Structure 1
Amino acid sequence: MAERVGFFTDTSVCIGCKACEVACKEWNDVPDDGFVFRATSYDNTGGLGASTWRHVAFIEQRVPAPASAPASAPASAPASAPGDGGSGGPSGAGEPPADSVGPGVETGPDGERPGAVAGGPVDRWLMASDVCKHCTHAACLDVCPTGALFRTEFETVVVQADVCNGCGYCVPACPYGVIDRREDDGRAFKCTMCYDRLRGGLEPACAKACPTESIQFGPLDELLARAEERVTELHGQGRTEARLYGADPTDGVGGDGAFFLLMDEPEVYGLPPDPVVTTRDLPAMWGWAAGAALSMAGVMAAAFLRGKR
């Protein structure tokens, strides 16, 4: 068995370029997913799916003008979000500190923030490249009836498309909503962590393409240690909102093979705050079923013997 490897995604340095999405599609020959432009967001993929194995989420946070602000206050001086370290209102008008605007987002020469849209200026963009978590306790493996899902020698979880029968059991089993089926043939697909590249001694395409090293690949133990150091560094800079997600081996899925450094609560990124392996009750359920079957067999045997008297 090879050493367990994984992803550490540091969202504090993600610039939303989506190079990881493109590299994933190109290497794995993943079809396009419609090129949908959503009028409410610059994010053109929307979420993970059978044809989106990497998804860079754009969390575009807008802050309304304070009620106490003068009517003539310029739109380029909104109040800061609670807890972001900025100051707003008449006594603190102006741009909030750079760290409250978000990584990679700077004000223009005229003082306006980029990405201003109807409904108010963007105060902060949180960007995060999401992917299959390659759970330590993967419910998708428990429910797959054909063995299409398997755990590799690198402790990653892979779907064999040529073995998948399209039953879809894995879709609701995933606590993160990662796995999906393609409409054209019904088979399930998700990130393989570029299993073919790993077997050839190469890093996954998404990590290779990331220009800021937001996506880091390597032995999981080394990534965990590196992530803890990064959180300590950010806390030392006053960015106390930084926290790790999916790195705790005592959580409901036993920790993830792909974990994240987040700059806000998990729910803000569309992640469950307390994920649990959805098949945790299966052993007990099988035990109850076996007990019920034995009881039924005993009743039938007793009735048969009674009928022969």
Structure 2
Amino acid sequence: MAERMGFFTDTSICIGCKACEVACKEWNQLPDDGFVFEATSYDNTGALGASTWRHVAFIEQQPVWTADGTTGDGDGDGGEKPFQIGPDGRWLMSSDVCKHCTNAGCLDVCPTGALFRTEFGTVVVQSDICNGCGYCVPACPFGVIARREDDGRAWKCTMCYDRLRGGLEPACAKACPTDSIQFGPLDELRERAAARVAELHALGRTEARLYGESPDDGVGGMGAFFLLLDEPEVYGLPPDPVVPTRNLPAMWRWAGAAALTMAGAVALSFLGSSDRLLGRGGPR
């Protein structure tokens, strides 16, 4: 088993160039998304999906002036925190991708074995085995995996499994000009990310936080985690993701215990009926 590999995406240095999107599509020969103009931003892909395995989000934030003359966070909770921005607002940019969860719901529910865990710890769909059942789609707490309309099969990021097997880094990380997308051994990336957060905090960027690096979260830790400059919801990420199949082992144990209890009750009932039929039910 090879060392577990992963992505650390530092959104604080993402410039929104979309080189990662282009490299992903070119290497994996992904079809276009219809070229639908998203009028609210410079976003031309909209979201992760069957044909978009890397998606660069553009989030435009307008400042809210507070009573003390600073720009606040505008969340309406009364405890406005000053942004590290000027009076014209700021852009948040983030290159999103499949999280390659430690506890992957998509992997748990696949009935054909089309989804499998590679020797690098990543989760990959084998398109030639996928039957298009779609069970994996609602099993993903991030809405990453999707089916294509033309053939119904499920698709998502493979972390460029073919490149990894050849000793190469994924295309998106290779193309990123600012090293916002970093690839490497997952434990090493976590250490690097913690140091980066400490560095930003020392510079006064106290809003910097990590998302998905902890093995104690609802998906057992993500193989692709992020440094964010605001709450996860701002980036379209669930604040407390939980894999839907997390409780499956306990459910199967309870189901087994219930089945045994029912079988015992049926057996006792059958024995009681046999006794009455044979006249061994005692005095009447």
Query: How far apart, CA to CA, are the structure 2 residues paired with 1:186 and 1:251?
Result: 31
Q: Which residue number corresponds to residue 61 of structure 2?
A: 61
Query: How far apart, CA to CA, are the structure 2 residues paired with 1:28 and 1:84?
Result: 42
Q: Which residue number corresponds to residue 33 of structure 2?
A: 33
Q: Which amino acid aligns with 2:241?
A: P
Q: Is the 8 A contact 1:248 1:254 kept in 2?
A: yes
Q: Is the 8 A contact 2:103 2:246 kept in 1?
A: no
Count of matched residue pairs: 268
Cα shift at 1:295:
3.8
Q: Is the 8 A contact 2:164 2:170 kept in 1?
A: yes
Please, which of 141, 145, 148 is the counterpart of residue 182 of structure 1? 148
Cα shift at 1:67:
10
Query: How far apart, CA to CA, are the structure 1 residues paired with 2:15 and 2:165?
Result: 30
Cα shift at 1:80:
3.0
Query: How far apart, CA to CA, are the structure 1 residues paired with 2:263 and 2:153?
Result: 38
CA deviation vs aligned residue, 1:128-186 (integer Å, no higher than 9, x gap): 00000111111211111111111110011111111111111111111111111111111
Distance 1:201 1:165, change over 3 A: same
SS in 2 for 1:100: coil
More displaced stretch, 237-246 vs 31-40: 31-40
Cα shift at 1:12:
0.4
Identity score, percent: 76
Q: Which residue number corresponds to residue 85 of structure 2?
A: 100
Cα shift at 1:284:
2.0
SS in 1 for 2:183: strand
2:186 is aligned with 1:201 = no
SS in 1 for 2:199: helix
Where does the alignment leave 5 or more consecutive residues of structure 2 unmatched? Answer: 74-79, 279-284
Cα shift at 1:216:
0.5
Cα shift at 1:255:
1.1
Q: Which residue number corresponds to residue 253 of structure 1?
A: 219
CA deviation vs aligned residue, 1:273-308 (integer Å, no higher than 9, x gap): 111221111112212322333344445445555266
Query: How far apart, CA to CA, are the structure 1 residues paired with 2:205 and 2:251?
Result: 45
2:80 is aligned with 1:80 = no
SS in 1 for 2:119: coil
CA deviation vs aligned residue, 1:243-268 (integer Å, no higher than 9, x gap): 11111111111211101000001111
Q: Which amino acid aligns with 1:249?
A: P
2:97 is aligned with 1:131 = yes
2:263 is aligned with 1:284 = no
Query: How far apart, CA to CA, are the structure 1 residues paired with 2:201 and 2:229?
Result: 11
Cα shift at 1:85:
3.9
Q: Is the 8 A contact 1:84 1:100 kept in 2?
A: no
Query: How far apart, CA to CA, are the structure 2 residues paired with 1:67 and 1:256?
Result: 37
SS in 2 for 1:125: strand
Q: Which runs of 4+ in 1 moved over 6 A?
A: none
Q: Is the 8 A contact 2:59 2:91 kept in 1?
A: yes
Q: Is the 8 A contact 1:42 1:58 kept in 2?
A: yes
Q: Which amino acid aligns with 1:157?
A: V
Q: Which amino acid aligns with 1:123?
A: G
SS in 2 for 1:261: strand
Cα shift at 1:53:
0.5
CA deviation vs aligned residue, 1:179-238 (integer Å, no higher than 9, x gap): 111111111111000000000000000001111110011111111111111111111111
Please, which of 199, 217, 233 is the counterpart of residue 267 of structure 1? 233
Cα shift at 1:63:
3.9
Query: How far apart, CA to CA, are the structure 1 residues paired with 2:258 and 2:132?
Result: 31
Query: How far apart, CA to CA, are the structure 1 residues paired with 2:245 and 2:63?
Result: 40
Q: Which residue number corresponds to residue 135 of structure 2?
A: 169
Query: How far apart, CA to CA, are the structure 2 residues paired with 1:201 and 1:188?
Result: 26
TM-score (norm 1): 0.81
TM-score (norm 2): 0.87
Q: Is the 8 A contact 2:70 2:82 kept in 1?
A: no
- Taking only aligned residues, the RMSD between alpha carbons, in angstroms, comes to 2.2
- Aligned ranges 1:36-51 → 2 under 5 Å: 36-51=36-51
Distance 1:8 1:67, change over 3 A: closer
Q: Which residue number corresponds to residue 182 of structure 2?
A: 216
